[in-house]
C-alpha cells in the first residue's frame, strides 16, 4: 500500500460553477493519477476548521431591524445580508447603512453595538433621539435583548446568542 500525505486548504479553493461558498474543488499540480483498476481509500488524519454557518438569515427571522433617527417619527429598515456576523460586524454594517442614509454627523454614530467583557452582555448605545425596534424580529436575541423598542442606551437583559444556537 502506498501512502501519501495531501494538504487541502480552502484558501486554495476554486469555485466550481454555481456553488455555495463552502463547496470547492482543489486542483493538484502535478495531478494525482489513480489506476481505475484498483480500490482507493481516503482517510482524514487531522482536520482543523472554523464554523462558517450563517447566524443571520431570513429563515431565522433575524435579518431585519428598524431604527429611527428622529425619536420615532420616521423609521429606516435595515436588512442584513445572509452571513456569519460578530458584534463588530453587526455594528459596522449598521454604521454603513446609517452613512448611506445620511444619518451620520461628523463621523459620529448615534447607534453603537458593543460587547462588555465584564458582564458578557451587549450594550446598545443610543444618543440624540435614536431608537431601535426589535419588536418584529428575532435579531434582538442575537444581542441578548427581548423583542421590544429600545429608546435609550441599554444593556442586554440576558446573555447574547450571537451564534443563533447553531454551534
Please give the pLDDT value at position 49. Answer: 62
**pLDDT at residue 99 is higher than 80:** yes
CA 137, CA 139: separation in Å to the nearest integer? 5
Q: Which of 9-13, 92-96, 105-109 has the weakest average pLDDT?
A: 9-13
Q: Confidence class of residue 72 from pLDDT cuts 50, 70 and 90?
A: very high
Please give the pLDDT value at position 31. Answer: 79
Within 10 angstroms of residue 15's Cβ, the number of other Cβ atoms is 11
Please give the pLDDT value at position 40. Answer: 79
Please give the pLDDT value at position 14. Answer: 54
**19 vs 54: which has the higher pLDDT:** 54
**80 vs 1: which has the higher pLDDT:** 80
The single residue listed with the C-alpha cell 456553488 is 19
- Averaged confidence pLDDT in the chain: 87
Specify the 3-state DSSP secondary structure of 138.
coil
Average pLDDT over residues 102-123: 95
Long-range contacts of 89-94 (CB under 8 A, 24+ apart): 90/142, 90/143, 94/65, 94/67
CA 115, CA 150: separation in Å to the nearest integer? 17
pTM score, whole prediction: 0.70
The single residue listed with the C-alpha cell 431601535 is 132
Amino acid at each position: 500500500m502506498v501512502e501519501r500525505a495531501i494538504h487541502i486548504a480552502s484558501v486554495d479553493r476554486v469555485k466550481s460553477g454555481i456553488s455555495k461558498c463552502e463547496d470547492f474543488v482543489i486542483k493538484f499540480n502535478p495531478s494525482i493519477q489513480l489506476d481505475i483498476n484498483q480500490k482507493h481509500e481516503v482517510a482524514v488524519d487531522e482536520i482543523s476548521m472554523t464554523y462558517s454557518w450563517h447566524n443571520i438569515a431570513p429563515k431565522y427571522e433575524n435579518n431585519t431591524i428598524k431604527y429611527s433617527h428622529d425619536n420615532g417619527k420616521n423609521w429606516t429598515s435595515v436588512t442584513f445580508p445572509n452571513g456569519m456576523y460578530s458584534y463588530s460586524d453587526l455594528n459596522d454594517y449598521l454604521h454603513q447603512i446609517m452613512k448611506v442614509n445620511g444619518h451620520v454627523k461628523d463621523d459620529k454614530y448615534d447607534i453603537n453595538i458593543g460587547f462588555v467583557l465584564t458582564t458578557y452582555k451587549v450594550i446598545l448605545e443610543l444618543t440624540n433621539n435614536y431608537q431601535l425596534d426589535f419588536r418584529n424580529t428575532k435579531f434582538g436575541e442575537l444581542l441578548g435583548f427581548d423583542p421590544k423598542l429600545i429608546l435609550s442606551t441599554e444593556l442586554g437583559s440576558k446573555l447574547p446568542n450571537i451564534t443563533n444556537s447553531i454551534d
